Homo-oligomer: A and B are copies of this chain.
């Protein structure tokens, strides 16, 4: 799987993890990820393993069959003529607060505090037609469990990021962001440090876990069945949580 090449000091490598099987509820995702890491030449100290939220949600059984769902009047209204009212019902059950709606589109705040389209509920790549996948109940805990399992299996405790594709206000297109984090910082706080000319950097917090998730998406893609990647060479070890990235409501200019 490897080829001879030259790398440059300080470079970051984003390595696709391939060959994972279709996942089912109860599967040991750590075993599959460890095997994929092995095929990619093995984990190294400081690596971050990024895994798509859908893979995590599948093994955690976060899947709903729409035929079992009875839509409410509000779901029917928010789905409009183009949406699926049963899927909207699932979205509303996963929603703490509707931030914006324009049928059939809903932007939700989830119980985790994430603001995203459809409360992260997605039909594509689910377990067949008529099923939808929900976000993990506690993605930071999912990341921590995977980190522990990978340590048991490989002897290396990598950082772990559970990622998903989120839209953004004012910009088109999605970028992958961190829903769950373990073993790395989520935010890199540069306040008080100085730049190359000695000036103090003010109010500079970098969402490094989100940038790691976005970098991983460059090799994962949506269409090509690569649900995970190793990001190597980022010095981000720490004890962060994706929950750290959620903007506290009292500081939020947009809620």
Contact = CB atoms under 8 A, between A and B. Distances in A.
Interface size class on chain A is: 35 or more
A207 interface: yes
Contacts of A223: 190, 193-196, 201
Given A187-B172, A193-B223, A12 B218 contact: yes
A206 B215 CA distance: 12
A139 interface: no
Contacts of A22: 197
Interface stretch (A61-69, A140-148, A246-254): A246-254
Interface of A: 1-16, 18, 22, 40-41, 100, 102, 105, 107, 109, 114-115, 123-126, 129, 165, 168-177, 186-188, 190, 193-197, 199-202, 204-208, 210-212, 214-215, 217-219, 222-226, 231, 233-234, 244-247, 252-255
26 contacts: A2-B6, A2-B8, A3-B7, A3-B8, A4-B4, A6-B41, A10-B226, A12-B13, A12-B215, A12-B218, A105-B253, A107-B253, A109-B170, A124-B202, A125-B195, A125-B196, A125-B199, A170-B247, A171-B210, A172-B205, A172-B207, A193-B222, A196-B225, A204-B222, A208-B218, A211-B214
